[in-house]
Amino acid sequence: MIPAKKPDGNKRIERAFDLAGRHPGAAEVLNFYRRILEFQKDLYERAAPRAAPAPDGPFRERLDVDIAMQELPKLLSLVQGNGPSKLAQEAAEFGRVSPEERLQVLKLFLNAKDADDAGPYAFFARVLLQPLAEHLAAIPAAGLAGFSGMVCPTCDAKPQVAVLHPEGDGGKRFLVCSFCTTEWEFRRVLCPNCGEEDYTKLPRYSAEGISAVRVEACESCHSYLKSVDLTVDGHAVPLVDEVATASLDLWAMENGFHKIRRNLMGF
């Protein structure tokens, strides 16, 4: 387990801006994602520190849903003004539901075993609650050292992306949580979805022009996630580079693989 640390919102925003200029095909998605990152950075710095999490209890129950409710109108306005048409329409629809229904959407997301089962409007819940989860996850916790499971040791969410951190003459593999962004060490030759460890069934695919990101697939369960290699590009920001390489997701899905956890932009 690498030490818990405060997420660098500025670094994510700057990386999204940089990649939008370098990858015209992904520019529209990245420009909207950058606005979402700016919203989340502001929420993290302004609202999350005000939250007084319960001293104990399950991680997700310790998040302050009231803060998310207060910030929801601002997010809906942002998405209606800048998001893709389908998402903007969802924001308008969500804005018309009662406060009670809004609260239920947030609670459903928190209680869902799998974020894909979090119901309608899960995008908004994820955007709002993720900075609060990152703030809480940055508080050092005991008992996480040596963890190597397939779901996040902090919040039980599935991984979003793998990352190779430089170590010695190579790299050590970590998984990055799709919700609280905790990183935990994970074996290089092991499927994080079904536990397959036969390397002949764990192919890796890369694309010309995308040097640091590749698809790590499993032929046993037909799942995949992407891996960002910081030994190849030390400027990469895993969550952002993962969004920027949607072409790899399209290729993987066209070839019969399903993603372990879709990213915030739906890929």
> What does the pLDDT look like over 22-70, one tens digit per residue?
989 999 999 999 999 999 999 999 877 776 666 678 899 999 999 999 9
Residue 217, phi-psi category: left (phi > 0), alpha (psi -120 to 50), beta (remainder): beta
DSSP annotation of 230 reads T
The whole-number average pLDDT for the span 235-255 is 97
Residues 170 and 247 in one domain: yes
**Would you say residue 1 has pLDDT above 90?**
no
Average pLDDT, the chain: 91
Q: What percent of the chain has pLDDT over 90?
A: 80
pLDDT of 7 > 90? The answer is: no
120 in the same domain as 17: yes
Both 185 and 249 in a single domain?
Answer: yes
Residue 148: Cβ within 10 Å count: 13
* Domain that includes residue 251, residue range: 159-259
Q: Which residues lie across from 217 on neighbouring strands?
A: 224
Query: Domain end: 88, 103, 137, which one?
Result: 137
Report the C-alpha gap between 138 and 19 in whole angstroms.
27
0.95 cut: is pTM over it?
no
Angle between the N-to-C axes of helices 85-95 and 65-82, in degrees from 0 to 180, rounded to the nearest 10:
140
Domain count, the chain: 2
Q: What is the residue type of 145?
A: A
The DSSP annotation for 50-66 comes to G----SSS-GGGGS-HH
Regarding whether 205 and 163 lie in a shared domain, the answer is: yes
Whether 84 shows a pLDDT value over 80: the answer reads yes
Residues 230 and 119 in one domain: no
